[in-house]
A and B are shown apart, each in its own frame.
Chain A
Amino acid sequence: KNQVEQSPQSLIILEGKNCTLQCNYTVSPFSNLRWYKQDTGRGPVSLTIMTFSENTKSNGRYTATLDADTKQSSLHITASQLSDSASYICVVNPAGGSYIPTFGRGTSLIVHP
């Protein structure tokens, strides 16, 4: 069964600090992995996509990594801002089949001033 596990479930940090969110998956065959940011009361928005051949990708202060061998991904946020407070959801897409994405439960990040 395809599964995506995220940790930690929630995280509280001070503004300006860095943090790393984790995602482990069992989706097979693997196509790509996306990190989404969901602000309170809004729908998720894609931050970055990682394909099989990519190890690291940056999008501003967000850096995603992928280890396809161990089936792990991380999202590192540098110099956090209050606007980073949100839920971060890891979504893994299978290759072929019905192309149904598998969602993680998300990590709730709160940035305090």
Chain B
Amino acid sequence: EAGVAQSPRYKIIEKRQSVAFWCNPISGHATLYWYQQILGQGPKLLIQFQNNGVVDDSQLPKDRFSAERLKGVDSTLKIQPAKLEDSAVYLCASSLDRQEGFPLHFGNGTRLTVT
């Protein structure tokens, strides 16, 4: 099966600019996650979708981050305006369902550098 697709692979922007990331999950996967991974740390959950509804966005900095999952398939994550501390890898993951037995399948991430 095709894996989780993410684009772009790399992005360099200046602070206060905006940026958007795109994710295409594995076909049929109901649950989609966006994670932020700072160098040397484990992934930190930003938002979890179940189909096209938000399950948890408690750690999403809503003053600058937004995410949507139209039609319960593809998803976009946007940052506006970006800060230096947003430099990180943004990982998208999907799973068949959000119950505990299913593994997360990750994309290779988008490496964001904010200068």
**Chain A residues in contact with chain B, CB under 8 A?**
4, 31-32, 34, 36, 41-46, 49, 89, 91, 93-95, 98-101, 103-106, 108
Decide: A34 and B103 in contact? CB cutoff 8 A: yes
Closest 7 CB pairs of A and B: A43-B106, A31-B100, A103-B42, A46-B103, A93-B100, A105-B42, A99-B98
* Residue-wise interface mask of B (34-62) relative to A, using a CB-CB cutoff of 8 A (1 in contact, 0 not): 00000011111100100000011000000
Contacts of A49 in B (CB 8 A): 101, 103
Knowing A100-B45, A103-B44 touch, does A42 contact B108 (C-beta < 8 A)? yes
Contact A98–B55 (Cβ < 8 Å): yes
B93 within 8 A of A: yes
Chain B residues within 8 Å of A31, by CB? 100-101
